[in-house]
Chains A and B, each alone.
Chain A
């Protein structure tokens, strides 16, 4: 495509010259410092959150497993606790206390794992969102 000479000359004549280059770079350096600070702070916070989540996960699994092992190691024909009340429901609970305790612990552990996974997903989403904000707005 052939250039329009008149237009080319007009553009060449208006080529701007900037006398504040040093100020511009100083402003940019300040902004980059701010971006670096936010990025580092954010990464440290996310690292702490992740560590807390992993610790909670491990503690949950270990304590759940220990409690479950303890419950399951009890003699099968002896209930975990006895209730001195004459009620068919409470008697049934006392008789099946071992099974009930195991189920309750398993449910609690499942719920804990699900909430930890959900928290990790939230943290990752937050990270993507903040990276997007930094890229969009620069600071």
Chain B
């Protein structure tokens, strides 16, 4: 894949990728965009070996999912402080976030559940596709979706 091909494919898929990462980052646009950039650089570096034609978006999402998990793992020690800070800033910026409740509810989910729920409901992937993207079994994805849905219901009280 040439650089031009890569950029043109990215131009088509960037909104869905950024939307996916925005949901994973619970509305934190700066973090989501940084992760999206990291994802795309990684994808570019390994684009020479990309052969799965027609599945560019799934391939990008797979890299994005792994980048997000690595990012979460690297932040594990400071996460509680960051979370507290973001919660305060979210509360202060209520007006600028249209769907604050959903993002706050997503924040309560573990990263893998959050990823599965986002891929299923926002990106509309099937369970099999999610299993491929997240490198887990279909049963594991079903469990994550079921647990995640119950938690979201509880948080959102609908």
Q: Which residues of A contact B (CB under 8 A)?
A: 1, 3-4, 6-8, 10-18, 21, 24-25, 27-29, 31-32, 35, 131, 134-139
Contact = CB atoms under 8 A, between A and B. Distances in A.
B10 A16 contact: no
A17 B38 CA distance: 20
A35 B18 contact: no
Chain B residues touching A, range:
35 or more
Contacts of A12: 121-122
Given A1-B145, A13-B99, A138 B38 contact: yes
Contacts of B121: 3-4, 7-8, 10-12
B99 A135 contact: no
What secondary structure prevails in chain B residues at the interface with A? helix
A28 B102 contact: no
What secondary structure prevails in chain A residues at the interface with B? helix
8 contacts: A6-B158, A14-B102, A14-B122, A24-B36, A28-B41, A31-B37, A32-B3, A135-B46
Interface in B75-132: 98-99, 102, 118, 120-122, 127
Interface in B1-45: 3, 7, 10-11, 14-15, 18-19, 22-23, 33, 36-38, 40-42, 44-45
A10 B99 CA distance: 9
B40 A135 contact: no
